[in-house]
């Protein structure tokens, strides 16, 4: 498999964690979004949507959309599972993952930031307020869903990482990068720290990637 990745892409971060957890052999192809390589002719052949990440299977099939890739990896490499064993637990873990993937994250991606900057002409302070507003909103809803729910354990659902943790750590990571105070979200923060202590998560972090800028990279 070839995994098309960019260090800062939070959707790439999700797939990296899953590939690590599954210990699935793959080659990484770095695509530099900061230099618009995802819009180049080479990558357009791989993914006409010109978005990251993408997973190219050995028969040439290209998978896209990070959550769909997580589901594929979970079916292709069943151990360890990325979803709970019971049907209601799976629905909860998926819902927590989708709260990030369908609500928090889409408002923070480069194409939206570009539109706000270039078309809406938001100034820097207003752009920062936009980011903070949506990061905090999703942190608040995550904390409300995780806090006091009997199925919340060491991780978002039970005592093993699932798709919910995979998506949540990306959201908390962006909150950390934006210097947002995590004090109001103690359960979310505890689970984030538990997950990020696992090598599969830590090694997938944006700042641990070989294409992260030298000055920021974690050694």
Q: Please give the residue ranges that form the binding site for its own copies (CB under 8 A).
A: 48-49, 57, 61, 63-65, 67-69, 71-72, 75-76, 87-88, 90-92, 94-95, 97-99, 101-103, 105-107, 111-112, 115, 119-120, 122, 126, 129-130, 133, 137, 141, 144-145
C-alpha count within 13 angstroms, C-beta hemisphere, residue 74: 20
Q: Residue 217 Cβ, how far from its own copies at the closest point, in Å?
A: 28
CB of 175 to its own copies, least distance (A): 18
Q: Give least dist CB 26 to its own copies, A.
A: 15
- Tell me how far, at minimum, the Cβ of 154 lies from its own copies, in Å: 22
Q: Both tokens of residue 115?
A: 């539109």
Measured distance CA(122)–CA(115) in Å, rounded: 9
Q: How many residues does the chain have?
A: 219
Burial 111-124 (b: 16+ CB within 10 A, else e): eeeeebeeeeebee
Q: Compute, in degrees rounded to 10, the torsion defined by CA atoms 140, 64, 68, 147.
A: -10
For its own copies, the closer CB: 66 or 209: 66
Q: Which CB atom, from 129 or from 177, has the smaller least distance to its own copies?
A: 129
């Amino acid at each position: 498999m070839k995994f098309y990745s960019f260090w800062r892409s939070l959707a790439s971060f999700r797939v990296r964690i899953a590939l690590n957890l599954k210990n699935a052999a793959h080659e990484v192809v770095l695509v530099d979004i900061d230099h618009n390589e995802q819009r180049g002719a080479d990558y357009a052949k791989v993914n006409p949507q010109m978005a990251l990440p993408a997973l190219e299977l050995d028969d040439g099939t290209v998978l896209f959309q990070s959550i769909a890739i997580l589901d594929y990896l979970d079916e292709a490499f069943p151990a360890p599972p990325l979803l709970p064993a019971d049907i209601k637990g799976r629905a909860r873990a998926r819902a927590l993952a989708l709260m990030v993937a369908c609500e928090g994250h889409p408002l923070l991606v480069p194409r939206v930031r570009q539109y706000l900057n270039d078309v809406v002409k938001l100034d820097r302070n207003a752009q920062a307020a936009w980011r903070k507003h949506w990061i905090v909103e999703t942190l608040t809803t995550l904390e409300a869903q995780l806090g006091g729910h009997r199925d919340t354990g060491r991780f978002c659902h039970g005592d093993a990482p699932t798709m919910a943790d995979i998506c949540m750590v990306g959201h908390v990571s962006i909150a950390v990068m934006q210097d947002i105070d995590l004090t109001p979200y103690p359960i979310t923060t505890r689970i984030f720290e538990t997950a990020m202590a696992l090598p599969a998560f830590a090694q997938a972090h944006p700042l641990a990637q070989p294409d992260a800028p030298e000055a920021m990279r974690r050694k």
